[in-house]
Amino acid sequence: MQIQIGDQTLTLNIQYSKRKKISLQIDGAGRLNVKAPKGTADEVILHAVQGHSAWITEKLRGLEAARQVPQPKEYQEEGSFLYLGKEYPLHKLIETGEQDAEALKLELKKFYFNSLKKVIAGRMPQYQNQLKVKPKSFEIVESRTKWGSCSADKKLTFNYRLAMAPPEVIDYVIIHELCHLLHMNHDRSFWRRLGSIMPDYKDKEEFLARFGGFMTL
């Protein structure tokens, strides 16, 4: 089902369930998700969506603005940097002191490396248990092209820039690489297994595709 909001034609992703009210949500990929009670007529859903057209337009404009070319980073105390999906002034993440921009950039990178290692060490065991797999090791690396990898000898790597992503996106990459311990290729079995642990994994993929370019130093 599609609807015209302003100058955009949006496709509605509708999920019916045992609920009393219609709810709307716009995800990081800019998709309009609608949850509606079972048996709700199409015209009722369209009317509800149209009633929130101003809110939808504002949300979509915000997402579009976020996709613009990243601004140069300001390596000073109040410079804004991402950590686990939220923005923080630099001095909240590292000690700034009297260091110059290059030194601060290096310290911030170290912070991301160390923090991501702790985050993954804390979050990976639950997914190992669910998948009944165990990697030989994992390490944090710097990569321009990959968010994670799994080698034939069961060693995992994760891009330090994931420290800037929301926790659920980090979880997606963890699960993705753990699934490669069962299926080295991206065949149907791989995606079915991944989907059994994280049904909305496509949302996480689209988040990285759209916003990964902003997760940088």
Grouping H, G, I as helix, E, B as strand and the rest as coil, residue 168 is helix
**Other residues' Cβ atoms within 10 Å of the Cβ of residue 177:** 24
**What does residue 71 show for φ and ψ, rounded to 5 degrees?**
-80, 150
**What does residue 99 show for φ and ψ, rounded to 5 degrees?**
-75, 150
* Consecutive H or E run containing 81: strand 80-83
Computed on alpha carbons and rounded to an integer, the radius of gyration of the chain in Å comes to 20
**Spatial separation of the C-alpha atoms in residues 78 and 104, rounded to whole Å:** 12
**Spatial separation of the C-alpha atoms in residues 93 and 81, rounded to whole Å:** 9
Q: Tokens for 9?
A: 């034609």
CB-based contact 35:15 (threshold 8 Å): yes
**Spatial separation of the C-alpha atoms in residues 205 and 97, rounded to whole Å:** 37
In 3D space, the residue among 141, 176, 180 whose CA is nearest the CA of residue 161 turns out to be: 141
Beta carbons within 8 Å of 17's beta carbon, 6+ residues apart: 35, 36, 37, 38
CB-based contact 207:28 (threshold 8 Å): yes
pLDDT tens per residue across all 217 residues of the chain: 788 887 777 878 888 998 989 999 887 666 788 999 999 999 999 999 999 988 888 877 776 666 555 666 787 777 888 999 988 999 999 998 888 889 999 999 999 999 999 999 999 999 999 999 999 999 999 988 899 999 999 999 999 999 999 999 999 999 999 999 999 888 889 999 999 999 999 889 888 887 888 888 8
